[in-house]
Amino acid sequence: MKNHSIAIYGLGVMGGSLAKNLLSRGCRVSLYSKSGEERDRFSASCTEGAMCSTQEEMLRGMAPPRVIFLMITAGSPVDQVLEELAPHLQKGDVVIDGGNSHYRDTGRRADSFRERGIHYLGVGVSGGEEGALKGPSLMAGGSREGWDICKETLRSIAAVADGEPCCGYLGSGGAGHYVKMVHNGIEYAILQLIADAYFILKSGLGLPHGRILEVFQEWRSGPLDSYLIDITCDVLAAMDEDGTPLVEKILDVAGQKGTGGWTLVDAVDKGVYVPTIDESVFLRSFSGKRLLREQGSVKLTATVTPLKLPEGAGKLRDALLAGIICAYAQGIELMQAASDKYAWNLDLPAAISLWRAGCIIRSRLLLDLVAAVKEPVPNIILSERLSGITALEPALREVVTKAMAAGLAIPTLASGLSYYDCCRARQLPLNLVQGLRDCFGAHTYQRTDRPGDFHTRWQACPNKSVEIGKV
């Protein structure tokens, strides 16, 4: 068997597409999957590459330094495969995990392999099946030495934006998988924001399906121009066998694979407010409560006002754009918080640039986001480059308030407005929260007029509290 420069371990949808991408670039590729069905399916669709029947055969056919690209299910399957591979790996080999692994798992694995002189990379891959085949966005983290060994190969298969491959090294440990995780959280939010807008057009304004499709098609050529708006048009345009819109026959229950939930848990850990991502994740879970919703639609009444929205499509376009900006702002703040905590020195402009092509959340807006994160502001919502959000705010507020008055459930658009208002609030009512916490639990509080932590005996006197003083 000829020597091969890289191996793809796992030939499912994504692994198979990446393998074909590598082969189309002239790379020498060893191919392996534990599943004989996957091996047969790939061989039937592609005769190139060296298909191996065992992982030992795969490794024997490679010249050092060997690069093994894992495209397998995240979690325990990765640890199992690594345990099986470990005795056969040599110092200087590179292992790439291209699945949606949790960033903490990636950091742990990178540390373990580093002790043996083996380079471990966690690479976030975005773009779905088509992106993997034609050019994905690749977000790498882990061993810098491992990146140096295989970066040219990875950059050769990535999507290209403005002449630059959307592939880069983001930091040590789990930095690459962290950025991919937050990317997915933002993706959750944008998908639901688009769905909220669709719901307003359909159930609020009562537009016929054909007109709704036209609205989204019009948005493709404006500031909302993005991959997700493009495929929204594709989904809305699809007709069932009987000539009716297929989307209207899809059950309104959405699944998820975990990365959105990981983003929420990590946001709590980092103390970052991500309400739009939060709503998009929890709504998928809530959508499965069909019995509650069916009975609630009969038993729960609401005082509603019919939705009237002058310049409806234009107002809704601006509201949706404002909501999307807020979603990006939440995710980007979370990435910065993680970079600070783990000393990744994450280059945010470079990280966001990797999303400009190939990936699911690519959009025209990303050019402004790249410029915005270069400004010395605590959050991009304050950026001069995105100052147009103040002009979008009236539309967001009008759409949200009127849609809610009409009894429509639009949680992500509403959370975007709440986020905007929190960001502009000089004073929040958390002073009362802190007073209450101190009253029932002696948790202490801080004052506006002097430093220190204080505790008060709030119930010592009906009309006057007794301050205990500094703690």
User: In 10 A of CB 45, how many CB atoms?
Assistant: 9
Residue in the block written with tokens 């047969």: 40
Pairing mode of beta strands 29-32, 50-51: parallel
> Nearest-5° angle of CA 104, CA 332, CA 348?
85
- Quickly list H helices, 354-459: 366-372, 389-405, 411-423, 430-441
Which parts of the chain register pLDDT below 70?
1-4, 461-471
pLDDT, position 293: 96
Q: Helix, strand, or coil here: 142?
A: strand
pLDDT, position 181: 97
Q: Helix, strand, or coil here: 31?
A: strand
pLDDT, position 459: 83
Q: What CATH number should be reported for the domain whose range is 4-169?
A: 3.40.50.720
pLDDT, position 1: 37
Q: CA–CA separation, 412 vs 215, rounded Å?
A: 20
Active site residue 470: no
pLDDT, position 47: 87
Q: CA–CA separation, 122 vs 424, rounded Å?
A: 37
* Sign for the pseudo-dihedral over CA of 230, 372, 178, 414: negative
pLDDT, position 468: 65
Active site residue 187: yes
Pick the CATH number of 180-423 from 2.60.40.10, 2.60.120.10, 1.10.1040.10, 3.40.50.300: 1.10.1040.10
* Sign for the pseudo-dihedral over CA of 267, 187, 130, 165: negative
**What pairs with residue 29 in β-bridges?**
6
Phi, psi of 96 (to 5 degrees): -115, 125
Query: Which of 38, 187, 279, 333 is flagged as catalytic?
Result: 187
Q: Put residue 285 in one of left, alpha, beta given phi > 0 → left and psi -120 to 50 → alpha.
A: alpha
Q: CA–CA separation, 52 vs 113, rounded Å?
A: 25
User: What does the domain layout of the chain look like in residue ranges?
Assistant: 4-169, 180-423, 430-470
**Which two structure tokens, joined as six digits, stand for 288?**
């499965």
The CATH superfamily label for domain 430-470 reads 6-Phosphogluconate Dehydrogenase, domain 3 (1.20.5.320)
pLDDT, position 467: 62
Contact of 358 with 183, CB cutoff 8 Å: no
Closest CA to 125 of 279, 354, 430, 334: 354
Contact of 22 with 50, CB cutoff 8 Å: no
Strands (E), 136-212: 137-142, 160-161, 164-165, 167-169
Please return the burial class of 231, using the count of CB atoms within 10 Å of its CB with bins 0-12, 13-18 and 19+. middle
* Sign for the pseudo-dihedral over CA of 399, 401, 404, 406: negative
Q: Return contacts of 296-304, CB within 8 angstroms, 24+ apart.
A: 302/407, 304/405, 304/406, 304/407
Closest CA to 71 of 115, 29, 113: 29
Query: Which of 180, 279, 333, 402 is flagged as catalytic?
Result: 180
